[in-house]
Structure 1
Amino acid sequence: MKLKHGAATLVLGVQYGDEGKGKLVDVLAEQAELVCRVQGGNNAGHTIWVNGEKIVTQLLPSGILRENCEIGIGAGVVVDPFVLRDEIKKIKSQGYDITPERLHVDYRASVILPYHKNMDLKRELERSKNTTKIGTTGRGIGPTYASRAYREGPRIAEIASPENFKNWLKANPYLAEGLEGKLLDEFLETAELLRPYMKDLAMIANNRLSQGARVLLEGAQGAMLDVSFGTYPYVTSSNLVAGSCAGGLGIPPWKISSILGVIKAYSTRVGNGPYPAELSGPFADELRKRGHEFGTNTGRPRSVGWLDLVALRYLAKINGLTGLAIMKADVLAGIEHIGLITNYNDKRTNKEMNGYPMTQNAWDNVEPVIEFMDGWENVAVGSNLNKNYKAFVKKIEEFIDVPSAYISTGAERSEGIWLA
């Protein structure tokens, strides 16, 4: 796939996150001049394998591993300054160059404070008492977005100056909870350390596009966790669908020329909430082990299941996908039959469900209809896809009416086939 000059390509997840977006962005970033994160925070992690070395990022876009491009953290992201500081230090120690000329953090990105993390944990504890626990990472993401909506939480612009930040805390004293004494001093020192990276990223991105640059937008998590279109209320706290991503950076939507939806050949979910595809027992344990399905940030074991074509078809339309990237089919190699969810029945009526589930109760009553296809011993030999895997891909394409653009054949950045 060739990135277009003067245009943006969006890479986003179409499941519950953890689809392999980091690898795809890393591969495409070889062509890009600017790669940007546009929403979420350090509740999302990307894992990239380069020559046997595992590289994990939380806030920094996957483009950080390609020295030919600049990288950005957009206004739609929420930033924990301590996490960003430590991540910059860690990635530098692994031999990758990060300078103020390369990294741009938008002034308008909201700041995660200790107050927000404490509030996140308190609210989750309250939910657990009445069985409505969400499964949050406890990183303070939701409360920070809430502070933004209340117009009380500080942004990067407010912490750029110690005086401005202290005045902000005086005006909103509850935000100072847990940020006193030595921790406040460390926070101010960290803000000063990050100050050279603070920019008007929206204008930088628009200028680069006007100059003919190729821009990559890196989505976080997956559309099934979108706060508006996901399995509400068991979702994240930001909009993840394509229509919101341009705004998370600050570029016109029409500048996005391609929208690549990333999926696994099976599915996974972390945290609570509806999951019609879920498998259990020894086979699920084996699949989890094969795919190393444990949270990048949290280490929590992921629930695993078959690929849900019903949800994928719905979200393909919501996101306007122009191409599909299918990851981790190699994990399924050697399994005799591979399942695909092709319909939802309603447990209450024992009939086909009328429409897409819109409520928690509707999701709880989904009975998945599963169609099995012959498995494969290997994904491909060279650039030739295995016959059975090719039939699997064709089934997906026809069901959701989106062509495949990329097939991953292994964990390494070099292991993949472009089809378009």
Structure 2
Amino acid sequence: MSNGQETACLNGEPAVKRYRESGGVEALRTPREPQNRVTVVLGAQWGDEGKGKVVDLLAMDADIVCRCQGGNNAGHTVVVDSVEYDFHLLPSGVLNKKAVSFIGIRLGRSGFPFSLNLAKYVFPLATIVYCFSLCSLCFCSLGTTKKGIGPAYSSKAARNGLRVCDLVSDFSIFEEKFRVLASHFQTMYPNLNIDVDAELEQLKGYAERLRPLVTDGVYFMHKGLTGPSKKILVEGANAALLDIDFGTYPFVTSSNCTVGGVCTGLGVPPSHIGRVYGVVKAYTTRVGVGAFPTEQDNDTGNLLQSRGREFGVTTGRRRRCGWLDLVLVRYAHMVNGFSAIALTKLDILDTLPEIKVGVAYTVDDKPLPSFPANMDVLTKVSVTYETLPGWCCSTEGARNFDELPSQAQDYIRFIENFLQVPVKWVGVGKSRESMIKLF
């Protein structure tokens, strides 16, 4: 410095002068809205609500479609031009080839363009370890898919896991880390039989194929959020009541399936999250074990299961079925703040002369003020139902709200009124065309 002159330069210009001309601190203090907002689609029950169909519909107009959590333990079905696609890992918007599909969760393969970020990798080793760990538990099976997702998230928390960025960097360093991890598991489970050399050979091939597809997720999302106008769609896997923190613990998955998973899984700032759509099945289903207050283990449940073809996409397991539980959905709304609801599979109710909706819980004749966190309490609840008239005719041909039977319209309005959330879409079939848009 000389004579107190400003000599600090940025791109050849005095930095302080540039700062003053830009408005200085006053410009920084002026509130600015995010340039691009993210649209999020989440399950509002125990999964299997039909999120894939909603994401596929919205993805037709998206530039980037993201998966933010979970793994191939989730299954999403999309029907386009009478062709049925079952996606377990890929974003359901991958059928839109104009959009970039971004996976913020774990390794995947497909013929479609997609990118990976600092995702955790689920090894075959992890699946075997999971089976051993379940056998060692002193309580009943959690009813998981046994896809190795639990060990992947456990190793993440234990800080000994391996990520995709490790896989595609120096493979000799990756191999060393992998052998240490395998040795750790073999020490924990002496009967664990795993061919480490064979897995490493397979992984080496994966590394070569995946390297061109890997990018840094934080910078990728930041560019999409702050650059030229982009429509960004995020698809949550599983559902709110399977969230590791807010779900029906311990009968949950290992990830955050609620809206917070968008921030932790993709590095998206909360201020960039715009609309959050909750997908609600017109009745309730659940795969595996755990409390299910509105379950109908009777002819009604069998009818819903049969008409809805309620079998898990990933496991093929028969889904338990029951009446719509609005106490549960309202809780999901409290956690996620739904902008609107997509109500799916309304047509499955077409043959019922009356339809019940769970609207309150009691225990020992005492009302519960909210959805209980304790699962021992949830198993004891009695459900208060509101009985609505059915419509006893097909809704599958309806393509707008006015074409629905008046009783079906009343059913939708009842849900909106109870939740104080508008229903934006109603599904009356499997294809894109069967999603009725209300507004």
Residues 304, 267 of structure 1: alpha-carbon distance in 2 compared, 3 angstrom cutoff: same
Q: Are the equivalent residues in 2 in contact too, given 1:114–1:179 (CA < 8 A)?
A: no
Matched, 1:156 2:164: yes
Report deviation, 1:179.
Answer: 4.3
Partner Cα distance (2:414, 2:297) in 1: 25
Cα offsets for 1:56-113 (capped at 9, x unmatched): 1111101110112110001xx2x2x4xx23xx1xxx4xxxxx2xxx31111x111112
- The offset of 1:171, in angstroms, is 4.1
AA aligned to 2:390 is G
Q: Which one is further off, 41-50 or 200-209?
A: 200-209
Q: Which structure is higher in strand share?
A: 1
Per the alignment, residue 111 of structure 1 pairs with 121
Give deviations 1:14-61, integer Å, cap 9, x for gaps.
Answer: 000010000000000011000000000000011011111110111110
| Matched residue count | 393
Q: Which amino acid aligns with 1:111?
A: Y
SS of the equivalent of 1:15 reads: coil
Structure 1, residues 280-301: CA drift from partner, whole Å, max 9, x if none? 1233222111111000010000
Tell me whether 1:219 sits opposite 2:236 in the alignment.
yes
Match of 2:214 in 1: 198
CA contact (8 A) 2:356 2:385 kept: yes
Aligned partner of 2:410 in structure 1 is 391
Whole-Å separation in 1 of the counterparts to 2:195 and 2:161: 14
Aligned to 1:174: 184
Equivalent AA in structure 1 for residue 46 of structure 2 = Y
1:309 lines up with 2:326 in the alignment: yes
Which of 46, 64, 89 aligns to 1:16? It is: 46
For residue 212 of structure 2, give the secondary structure of its aligned residue in structure 1: helix
Aligned to 1:121: 131
* Aligned equivalents of 1:355, 1:260: Cα separation in 2: 22
Residues in 2 aligned to 1:56 and 1:355: alpha-carbon distance in whole angstroms: 36
Corresponding residue number in structure 1 for 2:26 = none
- 1:129-278 equivalences under 5 Å are 130-161=138-169, 162-172=171-181, 173-174=183-184, 178-210=194-226, 211-278=228-295
Distance in 1 (CA, whole Å) between partners of 2:120 and 2:302 is 39
Instruction: Indicate the residue corresponding to 1:351 in structure 2.
Output: 366
**Contact 1:265 1:307 survives alignment (8 Å):** yes
SS at the partner of 1:220?
coil
AA of the residue aligned to 2:276: I
CA distance in 2, matches of 1:290, 1:160: 46
Identity between Structure 1 and Structure 2 (%): 36
Aligned-pair CA distance for 1:352: 1.5
Cα deviation, residue 360, structure 1? 1.8
- 2:99 alignment partner in structure 1: 69
**1:125-170 CA distances to partner (integer Å, 9 max, x unpaired)?**
334xx55210011011111101000110101011113212112124
For 1:325, the equivalent position in structure 2 comes to 342
Distance 1:123 1:350 in 2: 40
1:277-328 Cα shifts (integer Å, max 9, x gaps): 1111233222111111000010000000111001111211210111000000
After TM superposition, give the deviation of residue 193 of structure 1 in Å: 1.4
CA distance in 2, matches of 1:355, 1:45: 30
* Length-normalised TM-score, structure 2: 0.86
Of the three residues 351, 354, 359, the one matched with 1:342 is 359
Aligned to 1:372: 387
- Which amino acid is the alignment partner of residue 155 of structure 1? R
**Match for 1:294 among 294, 305, 311?**
311
State the Cα distance separating 1:245 from its structure 2 match.
Answer: 1.6
Q: d(CA) in 1 for partners of 2:139 and 2:218?
A: 41
The CA RMSD measured in Å over matched residues stands at 1.7
Cα distance, 1:235 vs structure 2: 0.7
On the 8 A contact 1:158/1:168 being kept in 2, the answer is no
Shift of 1:181: 3.0
> Closer, same or farther in 2 for the Cα pair 1:115/1:174, shift >3 Å?
farther
Q: Matched residues in 1 for 2:283 and 2:316: separation?
A: 20
8 A Cα contact 1:73 1:105, kept in partner:
yes
Tell me the alpha carbon deviations over residues 353-378 of structure 1, each in whole angstroms, 9 at most, x when there is no partner. 24331212111111111221111223
The one-letter amino acid paired with 1:224 is L
Residue 5 of structure 1: how far off its partner (Å) = 7.5
Ranges in structure 1 where 5+ consecutive residues have no aligned partner: 93-97
Instruction: Read off the aligned partner of 2:412 and give its amino acid letter.
Output: V
In structure 1, what is the Cα distance between the partners aligned to 2:46 and 2:399? 30
What is the distance in 1 between the residues matched to 2:62 and 2:225? 11
